[in-house]
Amino acid sequence: NGAAAPSAFAPKFEDYQAVYNEIASRLEEKEDYDDGSYGPVLVRLAWHASGTYDKETGTGGSNGATMRFAPESEHGANAGLKVARDFLEPVKAKFPWITYSDLWILAGVCAIQEMLGPAIPYRPGRSDRDVSACTPDGRLPDAAQAQDHLRNIFYRMGFNDQEIVALAGAHALGRCHSNRSGYEGPWTFSPTVLTNDFFKLLTEEKWQWKKWNGPKQYEDKKTKTLMMLPADMALVQDKKFNEWVKKYAADNDLFFKDFSAVIVKLFELGVPFKEGQERWVFKTSA
């Protein structure tokens, strides 16, 4: 049909920047969603694509984009992420040379930067794999559980305590949806801007159990509009985690620096990059 074979075209930085720009302009255009942005759900897609990694077996991770297929698309943790995958379909159609697995991670990078987060260096090199590479259910964290579970899940990916806490700062973004996870509400008052507010609110506000028929979650005493998951609250309840919560609550620059480093690590888990493939920082639309 005249389309170039993927191997005939060697995309460069400018080509990926064009994909970035397309995602950024779609984010700006489609502000009639949730709190005004698809950004948070794009970040969640990139994280759930990556967070299946198991360092012992080398399985899972963002290489493969296997969440396109059942059973992985139907894992409870991935409820609602079809919205994010569908948002990116027109981008894939416009730039067919990019793999889904590189595209989903690029979208996470774009969303973080466009929501005023730190620069997130990116490199391509992921290839799409078939349904046989789907990971088993249960690799992503369960929000109802606490520190022992968090350590089991994130140590399996190769992260330490400081990195677990830095990653959790992503909950400054977005919200829970009762028709997806069962939980309800945002963590912060500015869910479309990345800040260290998740840590500030965790330490500064008083939290109580929400009285409702849904799963056990916390609400802030003062406004009853914000939420915390049991797994979020475990970060202040655990002494070692809490040391990092306090540091990030006090210092947004430190949070941005550590968040950028750990997100790059998360997004690259298990990816067999070509030797010499450098990382790039994309220009934001602002």
**Interface with ligand DDH (CB under 6 A):** 40-41, 43-44, 47, 80, 141, 143, 150, 167-168, 170-171, 173-177, 180-181, 183, 229, 231
By beta-carbon proximity to ligand DDH, the closer residue of 78 and 99 is: 78
Amino acid present at 169: G
Of the two residues 167 and 226, which places its CB atom closer to ligand DDH in the complex?
Answer: 167
Residues carrying an active site annotation: 48, 187
Half-sphere exposure of 150 (CA within 13 A, CB side): 26
As a whole number of angstroms, the distance between CA 167 and CA 1 comes to 44
Considering beta carbons, is residue 6 or 138 the nearer one to ligand DDH?
A: 138
Partnered with residue 122 across adjacent β-strands are 280
- Edge-to-edge strand list for the sheet holding 207-209: 207-209, 218-220, 227-228
Q: How far is the CB of 17 from ligand DDH (least distance, A)?
A: 23
- Please list the alpha-helical segments (H only) found in the chain: 13-29, 39-50, 82-94, 100-114, 147-157, 161-168, 197-204, 230-237, 239-250, 252-268
Least CB distance to ligand DDH at residue 244 (A): 13
The amino acid that residue 253 corresponds to is D
Asked whether 197 and 250 are in contact (CB, 8 A), the reply is: no
What count of Cα atoms within 13 Å lies in the side-chain half-sphere of residue 182?
A: 12
**C-beta closer to ligand DDH: residue 50 or 66:** 50
> Beta partners for 207?
220
Nearer to ligand DDH, 99 or 181 (CB): 181
Kindly give the interhelix angle for 161-168 and 252-268, rounded to the nearest 10 degrees: 100
Q: How far is the CB of 132 from ligand DDH (least distance, A)?
A: 27
Looking at the Cβ atoms of 129 and 177, the one nearer to ligand DDH is 177
Structure tokens at 56: 């012992």
Burial status of residue 265 (CB atoms within 10 A of its CB: 0-12, 13-18, 19 or more)? middle
Measured from the CB of residue 79, what is the shortest distance to ligand DDH in angstroms?
Answer: 7
282 near 112, Cβ under 8 Å? Answer: no
- Specify the amino acid at residue 197: D
Closest approach of Cβ 80 to ligand DDH, in Å? 5
CB 43 → ligand DDH: shortest distance, Å?
A: 4
Residue nearest ligand DDH (C-beta atom)? 174
